[in-house]
Amino acid sequence: MNRMLSRVCPPGTGKLRAWAALCFGAALAAAAQEGSPFSKGPYLQVPAPKTVAVLWESPSDHPGLVRFGRDGQLDRTVAPVTARPITGVSGTLATDADASATAWLSTRRETNVFYLYSATLKGLKPGATYSYTVELDGTQTPPRRFRTLNPKARSVRFIAYGDDRTHPEIHAALTRRFLDYQPEFILHNGDLVARGDDYALWSREFFGPLAHVIDQVPIFPIIGNHEHDCTNYLALLDLPGRKRWYSFDAGPVHVLGLDFHYEKATDEQFQFARRDLLASRAPWKIVFLHPPVFNVGGHASAWGHESYLPLFHQAKVDLVLAGHSHLYERFRPLASAAHPSEWPITYATTGGGGAPLHVSLPNPALVVYEAVHHFMVFEATRDTLHGEAIRDDGSLLDRFEIRKVHRRPAQEYLAQVYPEESVELAVETMPSLAGQAAALPGRNEAAPVLLRVAPRKNGAPPAALEISLTPESAMNYELENGPLRVTTPDPGAPASVWAKVRATGPAKVTQDKNHNLSPPLLFQANVKAADGETTAYGAKSRLSSDAAEAAKK
């Protein structure tokens, strides 16, 4: 595919993002003050070749109607559209932006009843463009256009992103670029809001920033951990199938969305996923979910390795998209070195929709990694899957292409394959490299830092670790007794390893509000085992009272 997806967009600024968020908030507030019957929407859900659902929310319960038609004509009607009540409970969140992601005070300050309307437009043609408008309480929305899905289309274009919670101004900066790429649908891999059971956040963090997009482009979300009990998620969103997991086809792409809560092979979701993926004959198979199957930075997630990972290879999944870690990572195609003919899979973490950013870390398997707010754009034909990652200022973060010849990965793609076992080894080792400092390192006195080296999982052969400081940390610290050479212990309790770290940089070492050392102190290890070899990186070292007590002993 020679045509590139990127469009020329003016770079955003922090002031512009803040201004956009204020405009969204002001528009919603003005609508409420003027007695608008629409508190959310309209927005599009459950798109299919011959149907689509139009949803909206209102503080009033009166029958509504939807007019729709092709070629700008609104000659068909769905009426009356009746509502079902929703009880919206909103709590008082902490004022600090980052803390608001998790803080929920016990005093709940507002309970309101809203009414959710859903109208299914039927008798549509696949791949056709329609206009529609919604009428309620004497108010008519401006005409909007949408396009139905077409499983037989030769190409399809879509957006993927996730973790937009907490900072709606950043979310708004991203979404104002979405329509430039003319997507046919949007995949959202979870954490739509900071606290799923706070009803007010759904307008502030999700529906507000997306208001000018999802009235024209349908969105397919999947559950994240911040959706909590999913009551509001399931009430406000109308999704295919079981809602928690589902699949659909669009052009040459088959998409499967998974709920991360169901990781076992004995779960109903796994049985659905197995039947669904093995039955699909689409040129491209894409899976999306919240926690990554492979992930180095952020949470260093490793979801579904025992059950879903073998299935993905067996079913010839091409791409797995996830979020949870608030950054961008794209891996080289991964496959087992022990099985040279295994189907290679590309994994991408796209969790940069607005949540506070995490630390990104290098790994030999990563092609691109960066802690930045962003979204992804894809265009697929039968033979080519083209992807781009776009930063919130509109600049290009990443661009890649996967090509197939006679439905098999092209040779240049196979040449990039990296051993899956080495990435598993790195992710497994990372918790062992999270330092716990007994004191703040000084220039004149080294501080003891505790590392708890864990045994290998599932009886894997022991690994030899050569532990040192990352190059960035070595600019501010010195490992007096390093590098440390350690072998992972036998199954059972982790082994305690003490490092002695002295400050060498110009700044005095302090701790932040999360007790992380500043400047950051991070350890790395060269890891060698019978089943792989890699470089692993630990999380930021923290000042720890447990380490201080252990040091005394």
Provide the pLDDT for residue 34: 54
For residues 450 and 551, the answer to whether their CB atoms sit within 8 Å is: yes
Domains present along the chain, CATH in parentheses:
14-36+156-416 (3.60.21.10), 424-552 (2.60.40.10)
Q: Can you tell me whether residue 219 is helix, strand or coil?
A: strand
Q: Which residues contact 308 (CB under 8 A, 6 or more apart)?
A: 258, 263, 270, 273, 293
Q: What angle do CA 283, 324, 387 make, to 5 degrees?
A: 35
Cβ-based burial of 155 (10 A; exposed 0-12, middle 13-18, buried ≥19):
middle
Give the pLDDT confidence of 412-450 residue by residue, as tens digits.
999 999 999 999 999 999 999 999 999 999 999 999 999
What is the distance between the terminal CA atoms of the chain, rounded to a whole angstrom? Answer: 64
Specify which residues 400 forms β-bridges with: 387
Provide the pLDDT for residue 18: 40
Place of tokens 């980052």: 98
pLDDT-based confidence at residue 16 (cuts at 50, 70, 90): very low
Alpha carbons 184 and 143: distance in angstroms, whole number: 18
Give the pLDDT confidence of 127-137 residue by residue, as tens digits.
999 999 999 99
Residue 394 CA to chain centroid, in angstroms?
Answer: 19
Supply the mean pLDDT for the chain.
Answer: 91
Assess whether pLDDT exceeds 70 at residue 283: yes
Lowest mean per-residue pLDDT among 24-33, 141-150, 311-320 = 24-33
Provide the pLDDT for residue 553: 82
Assess whether pLDDT exceeds 90 at residue 31: no
Provide the pLDDT for residue 241: 86
* Pairing between β-strand 484-487 and β-strand 463-469 as defined by DSSP bridges: antiparallel
Q: Can you tell me whether residue 112 is helix, strand or coil?
A: strand
Provide the pLDDT for residue 90: 85
For residues 235 and 202, the answer to whether their CB atoms sit within 8 Å is: no
Provide the pLDDT for residue 8: 33
Provide the pLDDT for residue 109: 65
Assess whether pLDDT exceeds 90 at residue 33: no
pLDDT average, residue stretch 88-117: 63
Give the pLDDT confidence of 50-72 residue by residue, as tens digits.
999 999 999 999 999 999 999 88
pLDDT average, residue stretch 202-217: 97
Assess whether pLDDT exceeds 50 at residue 28: no
Give the pLDDT confidence of 524-548 residue by residue, as tens digits.
999 999 988 999 999 899 999 999 9
Specify which residues 526 forms β-bridges with: 466, 535
pLDDT average, residue stretch 192-199: 95
pLDDT average, residue stretch 103-132: 84
For residues 431 and 457, the answer to whether their CB atoms sit within 8 Å is: no
Provide the pLDDT for residue 29: 40
Place of tokens 């994994």: 347
Alpha carbons 58 and 40: distance in angstroms, whole number: 7
Residue 368 CA to chain centroid, in angstroms?
Answer: 16
* Pairing between β-strand 219-221 and β-strand 185-188 as defined by DSSP bridges: parallel
Assess whether pLDDT exceeds 50 at residue 367: yes
| CB contact burial 518-547 (16+ within 10 A = b; e otherwise) | ebbbbbbbebebeebbbbbbbbbbbbbeeb
pLDDT average, residue stretch 14-38: 49
- The helix-helix angle for 168-175 and 14-33 (nearest 10°) equals 100
Provide the pLDDT for residue 313: 98
